[in-house]
Every structure is written in structure tokens, then in C-alpha cells.
Amino acid sequence: MNKRQAFPIGGQLVAAATRRSVNLTLPGLYTNDPVSMPVHVLHGRHDGPVVFVSAAVHGDEINGVEIIRRLLRVPQMKRLHGTLLAVPIVNVFGFHNRSRYLPDRRDLNRSFPGNESGSMAGRLGHVFMSEIVKRADFGIDLHTAAVHRDNLPQIRADINDPILEPLAKAFSAPVLLHSAAPAGSLRGAAADIGVPVMVYEAGEALRFEEMSIQIGLRGVMNVLRRLSMLPISKRKPSKPSAVLRSSTWQRAPQSGILRAQAKLGTMVRKGETLGVVADPTGESEMVLEAPFDGVVIGRTNLPLVFEGEALFHVGRTRQTTLLEQHLDALHDGTAITPPELVEEPPIV
């Protein structure tokens, strides 16, 4: 058998059948301290796709960091076909500052594909595109909701992409939201150069949420199995996602104090009350209603709201029975994977 060629990254070569951490050089700190983006490369013995899994593109979205740590400890990784590029902390600067943004106050996920001689965000984006995305066949980018917000575990992908659609479904998150990539996002820039990327959104910024982490870990493993990079599991296959063809944000009709009435993961009927916004004296109440029959897939947890602020993210689906099964499993805790992966105590 011909031995696989070594994998080039960050000016180094990773031999077949080995794994190694490589640090990609980034702009340093003004204290003259160097900064780098850590990448763990698993270059399998056997041929197969090159897949990247990234987290903390928004520096305060940390569930994905833990998903990647667990992924790298999964015993089956020894039998990986192809190559996995695991990037647990893309926005190293934001991660240090516990912030979504970069020190230049830009949003990295609106700065792709970046530019070698551009802004700080642009340079970081360029490093990620040239070292990771351009070497990959496919990617999974792990996110959470922004600070003081919560997302139901969900995949976001363009399911009109014939390569991405079966992989996004294979992840088997409770819901799969069909959506176009935002301008300047990693997902959009990667698609532009022919590398399909799905985004996993789950939980809240600056928090670990065990169910989101376990569903995410299982999902990444499901995708690697679907790509024949890992052996097929003997376990019962995960339930398919309920597909949401569209979604909309209900925004605050006025500034004030929100009394939220719809929890994350509840099914709502058109016209049902999601919450009430009022001034502190309780006068001038305004009711926020569900725009259509759907499910709450994201919401704010902070009751202090400005007019126009996005408060409830409602998704629309026809697969209501399947969706109900997922929501029941999430609510009673049975959506969590049995510990097939690494035996360790859950984060509570």
C-alpha cells in the first residue's frame, strides 16, 4: 500500500498515521508577546476527505471548544480515514478578552475571506482561509448564541447545496435551519471557494451547556461517519432533524422591560404571546406575538430591551410530529447521547 503523503500546514509537515498540534502565527500583542492559533491535525493512515472543525470564531462562544476537546479524545479517532483539522479557538484575541469581537472591534465572522494586508480581523480571516479552509473539502463551524441569548441546538446550512444537504442532515441536530450565509461569514467565504460549511449553533455565550455539547459531539461524529472517515456506529442511528425552511426574528416594538412568556424550544401558534414589553411603571404595554405557527429556536435571556432588538427567533416547519419528538427528548433529557464516546462526568 502506498503511504499517504504528509499534510502541509503552518510551514510544517504532518506524516500519515500521526497527529500533531501546529500553531499558526497571528499578529502579536503590543507587549511584543507572540500570538498563535492552535490547530490539532489528525492525519490518518488511509485516504479520505480533509475536514475542519472550528470553534470560537466568536471569542466568547465556548461550547464548541469543549466539543472539540472531547472529539480529540474519542478512541475511534485512531482509525480515522482522511484528515481532521481541529481548530478549537479561531478568535484567540476574543477568547482572551471573553469577547465576541477582536481588539479592533470587528466581528471576525463578518470579515471573511479576509486580506493579508487588511485589518486585524481581515488578517486573521486570511490566515484561517489560507491555512485551513483552502486545504479542506468540508467544514463544521461551532457557535452559540451571543451573550445573554440562548439557541436551541441547530444546524444552519444551505440545504439547496447538494453536497451539504446530506451532511447537514447526517449531523442530526434537533432542528436543521435552511439559511443563506451572512455576508462576510466563514460559511459564506468557504462556499465561495467551493468548500461547503455547516454551522452548529447551540446554547449561550460564556457558558458550557452539557446537552448542547453532547449533541454537538454526536453530530460531528455522525458527519465523519457519513463521510466514511470513521467506522459506522453499532448504535441506533440518531433521529433525523426537523427541517425548518425559514425563520424570523421578532423584535422589540419599543424599548422597555420584557416579560418573556415563550421558553426556548416551545412550539407556538400564530398570534400566541411570546412576551410583553412595557416601561418600568407598567404602562404602555406592547405584546409580542408569534408571526406564524412555529418553534422558538433562539431568544434573549435579558429582560432589558431596546426598540428593534431581536428577542425571539421563530422557525417554521411542516414536520411538527418529528419536531415534537425532538423537543420532548430535549426537555426530558433523553436527547443526550449515551456515553459511547469518552466516559467522563458531565458539566453541570
Which parts of this chain interact with Zn ion (CB under 5 A)? 58, 61, 143
Give SS3 for 175. Answer: strand
Residue 42 or 87 having the CB closest to Zn ion: 87
Residue 4 or 143 having the CB closest to Zn ion: 143
**Residue 345 burial (CB < 10 Å; 0-12/13-18/19+)?**
exposed
The residue number with the shortest CB distance to Zn ion is 143
Residue 29 or 302 having the CB closest to Zn ion: 302
User: Min. distance of Cβ 310 from Zn ion in angstroms?
Assistant: 14
Cα 11 to Cα 8, 117, 333: the distances in Å are: 7, 20, 45
Answer whether 116's CB lies under 8 Å from 82's CB: no
Per the DSSP assignment, residues forming a β-bridge with 43 are 18, 83
Residue 43 or 143 having the CB closest to Zn ion: 143
Q: Inter-axis angle of helices 210-226 and 164-171, to 10 degrees?
A: 140
Answer whether 208's CB lies under 8 Å from 68's CB: no
User: Min. distance of Cβ 58 from Zn ion in angstroms?
Assistant: 4
Answer whether 202's CB lies under 8 Å from 155's CB: no
Q: How far apart are CA 292 and CA 7, in angstroms?
A: 50
Residue 58 or 187 having the CB closest to Zn ion: 58
